[in-house]
């Protein structure tokens, strides 16, 4: 949508420059070209910037989920290690009797 608007704007500026009844001043043409170029750049880059922001948010969510998963895995490992130590101690006590 934005790209179509940018191309349409550039086409209007070129059409106005070519169909003007009197010759346009070079300053006016340069200014119009600069403004149309800036607007075209804004219209052209806006969707790309939005996509990058969305991708950045998704990457942050994935990283956060992975971090939480790693923390949960670490807690599970510690719990299992504690259980193993408890069972080893109980086995040693049972064998010593």
Model confidence pLDDT, tens digit, residues 42-75 = 877 888 889 999 999 999 999 898 888 888 888 8
Query: Structure tokens of 93?
Result: 């006590």
According to the model, what pLDDT value does residue 88 have?
94
First to last CA, the chain: 82
According to the model, what pLDDT value does residue 16 have?
76
Nearest to 32 by CA among 18, 47, 46: 18
Question: Beta-strand (E) ranges in 15-76?
Answer: none
Q: What is the pLDDT of residues 67-81, one digit of tens each?
A: 888 888 888 888 999
Whole-angstrom CA distances from 6 to 10, 11, 42 are 6, 9, 8
According to the model, what pLDDT value does residue 1 have?
67
């Amino acid at each position: 949508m934005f790209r179509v608007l940018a191309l349409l704007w550039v086409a209007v500026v070129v059409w106005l420059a070519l169909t003007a009844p009197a010759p346009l001043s070079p300053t006016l043409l340069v200014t119009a070209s600069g403004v149309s170029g800036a607007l075209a750049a804004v219209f052209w880059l806006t969707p790309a910037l939005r996509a990058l922001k969305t991708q950045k948010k998704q990457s942050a969510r994935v990283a956060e989920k992975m971090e939480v998963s790693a923390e949960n895995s670490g807690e599970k490992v510690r719990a299992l290690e504690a259980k193993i130590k408890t069972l080893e101690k109980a086995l040693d006590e049972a064998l010593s009797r």
